[in-house]
Amino acid sequence: MKKLCFALAIFVMVACSHKTENKTANYKDPNAPIEERIEHLISLMTLDEKIMQMNQWTYGKNANPNNIGEKMREVSPEIGSLLYRSTNPEYRNQIQKKAITESRLGIPIIFGFDAIHGYRTIFPIPLAQASSWNTELVKTSSAITAKESWLSGLDWTFSPMVDVARDARWGRVSEGYGEDPYANSAFAVAAVQGYQGSNLNDKYTIAACLKHFIGYSLSEGGRDYHYSDISNQTLWETFMPPFEAGVNAGAATLMSSFNDISGIPASANHYTLTEVLKNKWKHDGFVVSDWGSVRNLVEQSVAEDLKEAAQKSFMAGIEMDMVDNAYIDYLPELVEEGKVPMTSIDEAVRRILRVKMKLGLFENPYVDVVSEKERYLLPEYLEIAEQLSAESFVLLKNENETLPITSKYKNLAIIGPMVKDSVHIMGFWEGMGRPQDVKTIYEGLEKEFKNKATLNYALGCDYDGEDKSGFNAAIQAANKSDAVIIFLGEKRHWSGENGSRSTIALPKIQEDLVEELKKTNKPIILMLSSGRPLELMKLEKMADAIVQIWQPGTMAGPAVAGLLSGRHNPSGKLAMTFPQTTGQIPIYYNMRQAARPTLGHYQDIPRDPLYWFGHGLSYTTYEYSEVKLSSKTITKKDTLIAEVTVSNTGNHDGKETVLWFIKDPFASISRPIKELKHFEKQTIKAGDKVVYRFEINPEHDLSFVDSEGNRHLENGDFYVIVNDQKVHFKLVD
Ligand code: BGC
């Protein structure tokens, strides 16, 4: 009997062990479920191997002067990630081969880079992209960026930046989608879909990274890296929505930000990184720290040393340490001392491995190697680049139909530092874009106006400084011309990271140049290139027409020339308000109502900004019909249909974006004056009309969030606002 029991016990043990073996997939088995593969792999990893996965080193250098300190390191085959600053796919494959063949478990490296508005084909800066209101074009341009990046050895881009930005002194407004949470959400989704495609496993797709989580754009006074005092109400209402939308769209990763949020730096913030992102939103990918943001916790006075910084960042919910080596150096002892539990290490590694598995890196660790000609700047890419640039331009002013340039202008003065520029016109974070790829404005104009008008070029002045020696030549060029087109603007590093400015006006020398040219009594057309809204208090009065061209990238020339000739009809609308003066900041359309609405504004300037969010003219004219609602009263379960017909009553075909706002005049938490809830861009041929529609879903479009992130939908009055129409309806039980 004893023998029988023993035999039975052995049988049960063997059967059980077989059972476990069958159930636990091998991590190398591409057909096994991802989660099981991950568990198997984790069960094989040593603590050191796990910690290595949680680090990112750099390979090569980029042009960001803020990050140049980091030395290129000998790449370890065990490293989790590389910030890859080479365009060479073969190097990547060699490094990857080392990881696959020389590390004990053959875990592939994930290669990341900042392809922010293009890799080699440079598209307009994100703030410009948002001003196009064309999410499809943004999605397509992101897909092109993904393809160029993948073919250069990348799996991951640190984009999109979805920090809602309301202080134009902050240089990084150029990298995001402007002042509105809904617009940022819509473009976050478009960019994520473009980068990641329908399946991350597919060739040419790369993982997106929503950044900077969170509240970075509210750094005090627009000074980069500074403290940001954010109430929980503002956090939820303004900053969270784009991140939540990006997470719901499947963004594989996020990057934590540099700023200190009301005493708890974003890179040590358990509430935002774990309670919200992981627990509430169920994000299953990983968070990478921003460059040095773990180390910065010491500067920010919440960690005594790098070891404590590592502990705080890690326990808050940052799985990957970008370049600080804080995790490599200190996590082993933090685990040993019981300050960091092994379960948390496993969970962090699980998240990183999940992204690598989803990218298909275990099965296909290498990228295709094709020639540069097949990789970059393909004609269809350039076409999209021109289209997106042209659609992002905003015609701010056009007195007496100064634009477009018709045959009445035979001689054109082309003046300014931006005319022949091929560097600043690409903007900050120009990826691997090269000046020699850029079609300059001058080249574009020469081609566009060949045999139509004579171009009289003069530099006029530099971007800044006091040298006026070029003014005379500019005046002479103006004197022999029928119109004066002046290309002014900002250098690329005046915006972007660490690109804060105390004034958003252009340097005095540029304003002086315009003042001199104005004296020639010729029509003055200002073409402004910048990474932020500008203060145009002085310039606006002197100009007959003004076009904001932002930083358009590789196809600047053809896009600008096409706009001037009328080949491109402007259709951009501002994604960020242009204040009267720098002192008027912050000013944005969805402010809260003042207690005394007609009072309290600055006494020395007009109450309104110079150009509101949404402002933008066209060469044609549009007429809006009366907005029609399907009902005047709805319940929470109904959908309300709002429609407006827009007619193109002018002589040019055009594209018009209808911006739909909702106003909630009374609620238990005060509401903004109005809030964008939907937008749509459509082509309307001259003489034609098109119907625009907004399906209002009460839960989605009429509710608001409280300071804990809970949504509330309260009955009462509402308004739909389109242009100057404001139509009332009621939400009832
Ligand atoms: C920036 C990030 C960027 C990272 C890597 C940091 O300085 O803040 O936006 O992704 O560098 O280059």
Q: Is residue 211 part of a domain?
A: yes
Query: Do residues 196 and 326 share a domain?
Result: yes
**How buried is 409 (Cβ within 10 angstroms: 0-12 exposed, 13-18 middle, 19+ buried)?**
buried
Quick one: 631 and 580 in the same domain? no
Rg (CA), the chain: 28
| 451 shares a domain with 311 | no
Residue 224 sits in the same domain as residue 144 = yes
The whole-number pLDDT of residue 60 equals 72
CB of 211 closer than 6 angstroms to any ligand 1 atom: yes
Task: For residue 229, report the distance from its CA to the centre of ligand 1, in Å.
Answer: 22
Among the candidates 310, 342, 358, a domain finishes at 358
Q: Does the CB atom of residue 174 touch ligand 1 within 6 A?
A: no
Does position 447 have pLDDT exceeding 90, yes or no? yes
In this predicted structure, what is the pLDDT of residue 12? 40
On the question of pLDDT at 16 being above 50, the answer is no
Compute the average pLDDT of residues 351-375: 98
Residue 633 has pLDDT above 80, yes or no: yes
Which helix (H) or strand (E) is 94 found in, with range?
Answer: helix 89-102
Nearest residue by C-alpha to atom 6 in ligand 1 = 291
Residue 224 in contact with ligand 1 by CB distance below 6 A: no
Residue 702 included in any domain: yes
Contact in structure between 461 and 467 (CB atoms under 8 Å): yes
With cut-offs at 50, 70 and 90, classify the pLDDT of residue 24: low
Instruction: Identify whether the C-beta of residue 305 lies closer than 8 Å to the C-beta of residue 330.
Output: no
The amino acid at residue 351 is R
Name every residue whose Cβ is closer than 8 Å to that of residue 221 and which is 6 or more positions away in sequence: 167, 169
Q: pLDDT tens-digit profile of 600-632?
A: 999 999 999 999 999 999 999 999 999 999 999
Domain shared by 457 and 318, yes or no: no
Same domain for 180 and 276, yes or no, is yes
Among the listed residues 224, 290, 664, 701, the single catalytic one is 290
Residue 525 lies in a domain: yes
Q: What is the CATH number of the domain that holds 533?
A: 3.40.50.1700
What's 165's domain CATH number? 3.20.20.300
Q: Is the pLDDT of residue 67 over 60?
A: no
> Residue 322 belongs to what domain range?
49-62+79-358
Ligand 1 pocket check for 324: Cβ under 6 Å: no
For atom 2 of ligand 1, the residue with the nearest CA is: 290
Task: Characterise 553 by phi-psi region: left (phi > 0), alpha (psi -120 to 50), beta (else).
Answer: left
Q: Do the beta carbons of residue 152 and residue 465 sit within 8 Å?
A: no
> Could you identify the atom of ligand 1 that is nearest to the CA of residue 161?
9
Tell me the pLDDT band of 75, cut-offs 50, 70 and 90. Answer: confident
pLDDT in tens, 213-225: 999 999 999 999 9
For the Cβ of 158 lying below 6 angstroms from any atom of ligand 1, the answer is: yes
Domain contains 455: yes
CB-side neighbour CA atoms (13 Å) of 724? 1
* Residue 599 CB contacts under 8 Å (≥ 6 apart), including other chains: none
pLDDT range class, residue 58, cuts 50, 70, 90: confident
pTM of the model: 0.95
591 in a structural domain:
no
| Each residue's pLDDT tens digit, 575-590 | 999 999 999 999 999 9
As given in the structure block, the two tokens for residue 697 are: 């879903």
pLDDT band of residue 66 (cuts 50, 70, 90) is low
Coil, helix or strand for 65? helix
Residue 180 has pLDDT above 80, yes or no: yes
Look at residue 25 in the predicted model and tell me its pLDDT: 85
C-alpha separations of 56 from 96, 113, 450 in Å: 14, 11, 51
630 and 529 share one domain: no
290 is catalytic: yes
The verdict on the CB of residue 66 being under 6 Å from ligand 1 is yes
Q: Are residues 113 and 251 in the same domain?
A: yes
Co-location of 428 and 565 in the same domain: yes
Per-residue pLDDT, averaged over 60-64, amounts to 61
Number of domains in the chain: 3
**pLDDT for residue 5 is more than 90:** no
* Nearest residue (CA) to ligand 1, atom 11: 291
Residues 326, 409 within the same domain: no
Tell me: do 428 and 486 sit in the same domain.
Answer: yes
Judged by average pLDDT, the poorest of 68-82, 214-228, 712-726 is 68-82
Q: Which atom of ligand 1 is nearest to the CA of 322?
A: 5
pLDDT computed for residue 22 by the predictor: 43
Q: Which atom of ligand 1 is nearest to the CA of 258?
A: 8
List of E strands, 365-498: 394-398, 411-415, 454-458, 483-489
| CATH number where 670 lies | 2.60.40.10
Q: Considering all CA atoms of the chain, what is the largest pairwise distance in Å, rounded to the nearest integer?
A: 115
With residue 322 as reference, give the H or E element that holds it.
Answer: strand 321-322
Per-residue buried b or exposed e for 362-399, using 16+ beta carbons within 10 Å of the residue's own CB: beebbbeeeeeeebbbeeebbebbbbbbbbbbbbbbbe
| Residue 22 counted as domain residue | no
Same domain, yes or no, for 562 and 642?
A: no
- CA 204 and chain centroid, separation: 20
- Ligand 1 proximity of 497 Cβ (cutoff 6 Å): yes
Q: With respect to residue 596, please indicate whether it lies within any of the assigned structural domains.
A: no
658-679 mean pLDDT: 98
The tokens describing 640, both together, are 């309300």
User: 290 C-alpha to center of ligand 1: Å?
Assistant: 6
Ligand 1 centroid distance, CA of 489 (Å): 24
pLDDT exceeds cutoff 50 at 665: yes
Q: What is the pLDDT of residues 118-175, one digit of tens each?
A: 999 999 999 999 999 999 999 999 999 999 999 999 999 999 999 999 999 999 999 9
pLDDT tens profile 230-262: 999 999 999 999 999 999 999 999 999 999 999
Residue 605 included in any domain? no
Among residues 298, 326, 358, the one where a domain terminates is 358
